Structure 1
Amino acid sequence: MSLLERLNNDMKQAMKNKEKDKLSVIRMVKASLQNEAIKLGTKELSENDELTVLSREVKQRKDSLHEFDKAGREDLVDKLRTELTFVELYLPKQLSEEELTEIVKETISDIGATSKADMGKVMAALMPKVKGKADGSLVNKLVQQHLS
C-alpha cells in the first residue's frame, strides 16, 4: 500500500472517529506530498521523494517544538508533540543509536576518512543510507565523534 493510500485510509478512519488533531495532521502531510509532486512535475512521488517530504515535516515540527519550548509556550508545545507523533507513524522504523553507529563506522572505513576535513564526504555517502531512518543531527554528532 502506497503512502498516499495509507493516508487516505487513515483520514477516513480519523473522520469516522472524530479525531480532529489526527485528521488535521494527515491533511497537512497529504498537502505536502501533493505540493512536492506538483513541484517535481510528476503524478506520483517515488518512495524516496515521499521519505524526503516526511522527513521535512518531522524536522519542521521538531524545530518549531524547540522554539516554542524556549519561549515557554506549553500550549503549542503539546500540540506539536501530538502532531509529531502522528507524522512519525508514517516514517520507516528508526535506527537505534547502536545500529547507526555501526553504519557510521562502516561508511568511514569505506571512504577511508581520517579527520574532520573528510566530514563532508562521509555525510554525503552516509545520508542516503539512513534517509528517513535517522535524525540528521544525530548522524552528524556520531560522525564527528568517530572522526575526532
Structure 2
Amino acid sequence: MAENLKQRLQDEMKAAMRSKDKERLTTVRLILAAIKQREVDERIELDDAEVLAVLDKMVKQRNDSITQYRDAGRNELAAKEEAELSVIQEFMPAPLSEAELDALIDQAIADTGAASMKDMGKVMGVLKPKVQGRADMGALSAKVKAKLS
C-alpha cells in the first residue's frame, strides 16, 4: 500500500467535507478520533497494523450494537450503526477466504511445531498479525482449536 491508512482517512475526511456528505464525514471523524485517542493514550504513532486493530475493534462494536438495537426493536439506531459499519469496512482489507484461512492456520501450526491445545497461544500469536482485520478472531480461534484437538 503506497499511502498509509491514516493519510487515506484524512483524504477521505476532506473529500466528505467537499461533497457535504455528513454521514460519511461523521464516521470518518469517529475513526480518526479513535486513532488519535489511542496515539495520545499510548504516546505513539500508530502504523497501518495498529490502525487496522482500531478499525477491527470499531467493526466489532458496531456489530454488537446492531444486534442489541435489533433485539430491542430500535431499528433506526441499528440503521445508523449499519451505515457507520459500511463506511468503516471500506478501510478494512478484503476478508480472507476459508481456503486462505486454512492455509494460514496450517502454515502457522507447521511454523510453531504445535501439536496440542497447549500450543494454541503460539499459533494464535503467529496468526493474529497476518489476519488482523481480515478475519473474525473468534471463528479463527475455533478453527485452530479444531485442528489442534
Q: TM-score range by the shorter chain?
A: 0.7 to 0.9
| TM-score normalised by L of structure 1 | 0.87
Contiguous gaps of at least 5 residues in structure 1: none
Post-superposition offset of 1:6: 1.5
1:17 aligns with 2:29: no
Alpha-carbon distance in 1 for matches of 2:74, 2:118:
40
1:95 partner SS: coil
Q: Distance in 2 between matches of 1:97 and 1:40?
A: 35
1:7-48 Cα offsets, whole Å, 9 max, x none, are: 222112212222221111000001011111111213x32222
Counterparts in 2 of 1:4 and 1:106: CA distance versus 1, 3 Å: closer
Match of 2:10 in 1: 8
TM-score, scaled to structure 2? 0.86
Task: Report the residue type matching 1:145 in the other structure.
Answer: A
Distance 1:147 1:5 in 2: 40
One-letter amino acid of the structure 1 residue matched with residue 86 of structure 2:
T
What is the aligned residue count? 147
Percent identical among aligned pairs is 39
Q: Which amino acid aligns with 2:73?
A: G
Change (3 A) 1:72 1:141: farther
Specify every segment of 5 or more residues in structure 2 that has no aligned partner in the other structure, as ranges.
none
Instruction: Give the whole-Å Cα distance in 2 for the aligned partners of 1:145 and 1:69.
Output: 32
RMSD: 1.8
Alpha-carbon separation, structure 2, partners of 1:65 and 1:25: 16
Q: Is the 8 A contact 2:49 2:129 kept in 1?
A: no
Give the corresponding residue for 1:142: 143
Cα distance in 1 for partners of 2:47, 2:129 equals 14
Q: 2:120–2:144: 8 Å Cα contact kept in structure 1?
A: yes
2:106 equivalent to 1:114: no
